[in-house]
Structure 1
Amino acid sequence: MINERHSLPLRTFVGHYWIQEMVYLGKDTICYRAEDMRLNRQVLLREYYPSDIAKRHVKQNDTYMVDVEPVQHDIFTAAKKQIRNTYTILKELNHGSIASFKGFFEAHGTIYMVFDYIDTKTIQLSLEQKIKYSENEIGVFTKSLVVALTALQYHDLNVCHIQPDMIHMNKKKNAVISGLTDFIPLMSSYDEHIIYDIGLLMYVMLKGTPLEADEEVEELISDDNYSTVMCELINRMLSPKLSNRPKSLQEIQTLLSIYNKEEPLSQPVLSETKSNPFLFVAKLGSIVMILVFTIYLLYNQLKESKSQEISTLKNVQSHKVSEIDNAEEQRTLGEINEKVYHNIPKAVQLYKKAANQGNLYAQLRLGNLYKKGVGIRRDDQQAAHWFLQAAKQGDSVAQYNIAYFYYNGIGIAKNKKEAEKWFEKAAEHDSDNATYADGKIYYEGDGIEEDYKKAFQWYVKAAQKGDIGAQYKLANGYDYGEGQTKNYKDTMFWYAETDLRVYNGLKEKPLGAINIAAFLPYDNDSKEYTTGYMYEKKKDDKQALKWYLKAAKQGDHRAQYKLGFYYLWGENIKHNHVKSMYWLKQAAAQRNVHAYFGISYLYRANQGIPKDESLAFQWCRKSAKNGDRTAQKLLGSYYEVGTGTEINYNKALYWYEKAAARGNDDAHKLMIDLKKKLKIKS
């Protein structure tokens, strides 16, 4: 069983993440609030730590390693593989009600998962602070939670449990599943236990207090604040008999469809009147009659609506497509078949009926399904046909897709002019990919007349949106005068905006991008490091820091050292010992010997980094052995007074002499003083 002693110490590094707080202990995971030192943001870091087979030890370089017994190694490796597979799927799922998963990495012998850190209160904390939820808030919240869980199901994932301390409510009253939740492969028994968990969550939100360990769940009875509909739904979800519970998440979603994102308007409060009690009674009687009649109408409306929903669901499950004529209803049922029942052929059948009546969403779904061959045979001609239909209705996604199909001759005859027409239409609707593609067509002149000026116009639009390919094209254009006048300043600007790391894995690398080196003092250095160096010489520390940061993120150990130096001793930069330690250790890991002394200093300074004289001594000794005369002098003093090590006068004299020989006057004086103390003649 994991407990707090298994967690990493605070203020330690895992990769470029700085541990700030342990926030959750799971069965096999430990969750931390950490700072991403590269992006200066808070993240949630999940560490896989199966305490029954793993243990932690500290290496000499203060790295906390997770070790597993050899006989358990295969189990540990298989579990990490399963985690990678599960979270790879989760990364592809971009859902507003699920914390954004940023990726995973292996370090210190185990695997870590990175999520966005959600800074809002959990439901558990809100309940502990006696925050009350209205019925509409509970309905909207639960409906969004069910939609998120359905999306997970569609991607063959689920969660182990739904608990109040793992769920947040955002400003729109929607649920957000945090990264504390255990995401696992979908199992057949998913709905049975998860429906109970959702019901229990709704129960405590309605009650307004957390459920105590020995507290039993009571049957809910409607009152002035909570309707019979809400109470009966929760009672069903918590029923001991499985047969009484809703059968699926889809059924719960349907029952919650009456709740809107905005609170219903409350009735005005009637003030009592003492001047005419008979008038008051008459008014009260009228109000009661109106309320009774309203309830009657609502009851019949709900009954009729429920009957229609049951009929619709039966049509879906029994595939009576012929009974459904409305295009939007056909589209909805197609989506249910696709995403809930995973019956793609039936979904396609329903989508086609809706698409033939002009339903845009159905046309788009058909285009995508045929394009990817998901659950049906891939058919480029069908994909092109439906994308074209949707494109004619003005959808930018469809316009880009049909342009791409025309450009490459996929499922339709190759036609560069048609491709350019649809790329331009998509670009006019702010499609980023289409904006760049339009520029590319005019630049290459393949199938249409070459026009550098038009290409340049589209590249400008794409570059301003952050398209790195367009930024490079602009830089190259300004460099060689293609489509615009040669301009040194703009060439520098757009090359600087281009992050060359993106191109490292491409077959066709932008060879012209290295032209920027011709403007800078060191031909062999990266443009980021050299630009930082130029700003440093100009005493513009903020710009130097910006460019050194770009180079450091690419792995340049000199830039990493420079960052550590700036954060530690920079004149016009706010000092930050935590960031300094991070970048100096990154440089030291690449054997940058200049970083060793800074690390030693930070372990002595006790400002943001816990003071550790032993580690200060170790890093000082590393620096001294690599020839730093200041470190050599300091190491001599460590040996003389016993800081971080045992007193050793012989070694103290040795290092004083080393530093003095390299011109350190202070070391020379310390050496003479120690010799006098030891009565040694010079």
Structure 2
Amino acid sequence: MKYIVLFLSIVLSSFAFAADFQKGADAFKTEDYALAMEELSPLAEQGDAEAQFYLGVMYFKGSGVSQDYEAATKWSTLAAEQGHARAQHILGLLYRYAEGDKRDYLEATKWFRLSAEQGEAPAQSNLGDMYRYGIGVPQDDAAAVKWIKLAAEGNYVPAQFNLGSLYQSGQGVSQDLDYAEIWYQVAAEQGFEKAKIKLAQLRSPESYNIQDDLKYGLEAQKKGDYSEALAELYPLAMQGSAEAQFALGVMYRRAQGVTKDEAVAQKWTLFAAEQNHVEAQYFLGIMYQFGFGVTEDHDTAVEWYKLAAAQGHIESGGNLKKMALLRFVE
């Protein structure tokens, strides 16, 4: 008899647990966050991954509570370690966009990958971004296309826009404006405003002014919105914009939203310098003079300084004089 009582007690407890969870989840969906927190907190404390996920989201977004990234990380980690795909994605975001020393691109990539491999489309899209820009992983166009395409085919709208961008710029795929238009159209039909703008530009190229996109990207970089800056500037750089190429060089040199990489910085700076971008020529001079991302080579530094100085760049002229005093210039 006592076993029957114990069994019934367990069953009733399970029903109560499920009822409490459903009440909390429903409250979350109707934005009654106080009730959601009241119902879900005890369940999260008992180790329920779904409840932990909801708490992580509330602290991440500041929904019904003060925004608290430490608490968001705590609860998201507990759920993620139990294999919760959406919590793994949230944890990736927390590590990617954390402030200062707490930012960890390797951890972000790890959690994005675990989530993406479970089919979570937003995580697939973010993992694709990490490969696209070389954040926390070596830059890999093929991997970027693979993951972004999976997310796009899973109807994740930002990924559909990004796939259109890849086809428009020819990054990792053969440039195909027809495919670019198709994916922009799919995203635009779901209300993605940037896709509507790109679609209009593709369909009326005579009215498109690259300077508008460039200005937007540079302003985003200046404001510290590096994800937006990358999204705007990278395709422009791929299409040959010297200003965008130089800006990317700066971003990789200063670790602005990307893993610091002097070699990649040198690559983009060189592309811009070869198009006679004076600041890029000056920075190449610095890179070769002091060996930042390249083998130190004073002769090459002098050549780039001379090109910049010929365009009236004062600092380049000053560096030439200093190098002359040090007998680097005949």
TM-score, length of structure 1 as denominator length: 0.25
Higher helix share: 2
Higher strand share: 1
TM-score, length of structure 2 as denominator length: 0.47
